[in-house]
Amino acid sequence: MLMGLVIGTGVLGLVVWAFLRRSLQPSQPEDPFASTSPGSSSRNRPQRVWSFRARRSRHPFPGAPHDDVPGRDASGDLASLQAHGLPVLTSPSEVADLLGVSPKTLRGWESLSHQKRPPKKGQHYHVRIIPKRSGGTRLLMVPKPRLKRAQRTLLRELLDKLPVHEAAHAFRTGRGPLTNASAHAGKRVVIGLDLKDFFPTLTRRRVAGFFRALGYGRDVSNTLAALTTTWAPQPGHDGQPKWPMLPQGAPTSPALANAICWRMDKRMDALAKKFGATYTRYADDLTFSGGEELHQRAPYFIRTVQEIIRTEGFAPNDKKTRVLGSGRQQRVTGLVVNEAPKVSRKERDELKAILHRAATKGVGAVELEPMPGDLQAHLRGRVAWVAQADARQAEKLERLWGRIDWGASGAPT
């Protein structure tokens, strides 16, 4: 009896302790993503933003877009390829036939990419390092003519048939920096995030996994990945990746990058809609814009976007994250979007001064840093850039352009 009394007292003590612990526990901070409408309950409450996981945003093709597909037969899923209008390729020799090259040539391209370290010679790319206007350099790797022809065939026969999300504006016919910026004109707030090392993150292994997800067998996927990726010239130096990657400069890289980002774009678009906002992506540049709700909840929103970026296999470039209210100059892909998209006054005035100097003192008097290889094409492109955004603002620039004597290196005669 004494033992029963002791046990009963102990159980009662645990119950009282649990009750007091729950009563004294600090209340949880308000969930910024939960419904605040009167009478809302857990049954009719909208999904939390944290539910935007990969499993809830499936790629239009089975499997994950950047990993191998567990359990999939090595020969692939031919029915999936046929259903989506993609060429059925069951062996590397059929890939060679599609590209119009010999199996030996294809094996040569493939062997270089599959080496465990970059080859000292025999690369199939011309390498150029060009300066960025914003500082730093960009590594361009342009395939040599024979490989470029094969990649263009692959682009036409396969990659152009892959789904691309409507939010993507880079590398697409009829779209560009202007259409990307126009989606965010006149908004209360513009939030921008960048993906760090965008093309280097898209490695050969990841590209092969994507082709596996489309339905191609392991051998074909590895061949296609080897055909579209390559080693950087000096892996590990100056930020160059230590593995084969999508080369910036190959005709296949933009289409592959957009297709691999389809799921991430879908998740970002769904998140933006939950906040009544707009989402677009221009290559590695992610932009969101919206009203007061997005402005007030910007810190929570940015953390959620960063989580999605990481779960999709990318890394956010924290140094380039920006929140621009309507009281500041809002720039999207180089255009000011506080009202209608346009080139900034500072940039127009700078270009006007350059053209005036060329028209009055001669082309040889123009000094730019860095100096472009083709000054005429460079300035023509900058004038066209202003005219594309606002033809009226470009009228004076066009008149100055017409006064330049491009045949003279000194003062005009």
Check residue 41 and give its pLDDT. 37
Among candidate residues 224, 264, 277, the one with its CA nearest the CA of residue 246: 224
Q: What is the pLDDT of residues 241-279, one digit of tens each?
A: 678 889 999 999 999 999 999 999 999 999 999 999 999
pLDDT at residue 51 greater than cutoff 50: no
User: Which amino acid appears at position 62 of this protein?
Assistant: P
pLDDT at residue 37 greater than cutoff 60: no
What is d(CA 160, CA 253) in angstroms, rounded to the nearest whole number?
11
Give the residue, 365 or 234, on which the prediction is more confident.
365
Mean pLDDT rounded to a whole number for the chain? 80
> 3-state class of 183 per DSSP?
coil
Supply 367's token pair: 């000094």
- What backbone phi and psi angles, to 5 degrees, belong to 342? -160, 160
What sign has the CA pseudo-torsion 36, 42, 46, 52?
Answer: positive
Supply 150's token pair: 């094969």
Alpha carbons within 13 angstroms on the beta-carbon side of residue 100 total 10
Supply 394's token pair: 């470009």
What is the rounded end-to-end Cα distance, in angstroms, of the chain? 119
pLDDT bucket at 5, cuts 50 / 70 / 90:
low
Give the residue, 136 or 352, on which the prediction is more confident.
352
What is d(CA 92, CA 81) in angstroms, rounded to the nearest whole number?
16
List 194's β-bridge partners, or say none: 285
Q: What is the pLDDT of residues 300-352, one digit of tens each?
A: 999 999 999 999 999 999 999 999 999 999 999 999 999 989 999 999 999 99
pLDDT at residue 115 greater than cutoff 70: no
pLDDT bucket at 56, cuts 50 / 70 / 90:
very low
What is d(CA 190, CA 297) in angstroms, rounded to the nearest whole number?
12
- What backbone phi and psi angles, to 5 degrees, belong to 302? -65, -40
Q: What is the pLDDT of residues 394-404, one digit of tens each?
A: 888 888 888 88
Q: What percent of the chain is modeled with pLDDT above 90? A: 47
What is d(CA 338, CA 400) in angstroms, rounded to the nearest whole number?
28
Residue with token string 């031919």: 78
> 3-state class of 214 per DSSP?
helix
What is d(CA 115, CA 119) in angstroms, rounded to the nearest whole number?
8
Supply 398's token pair: 């066009």
Give helix then strand counts, H and E, for the chain: 16, 8
pLDDT at residue 40 greater than cutoff 50: no
What is d(CA 130, CA 132) in angstroms, rounded to the nearest whole number?
7
List 195's β-bridge partners, or say none: 316
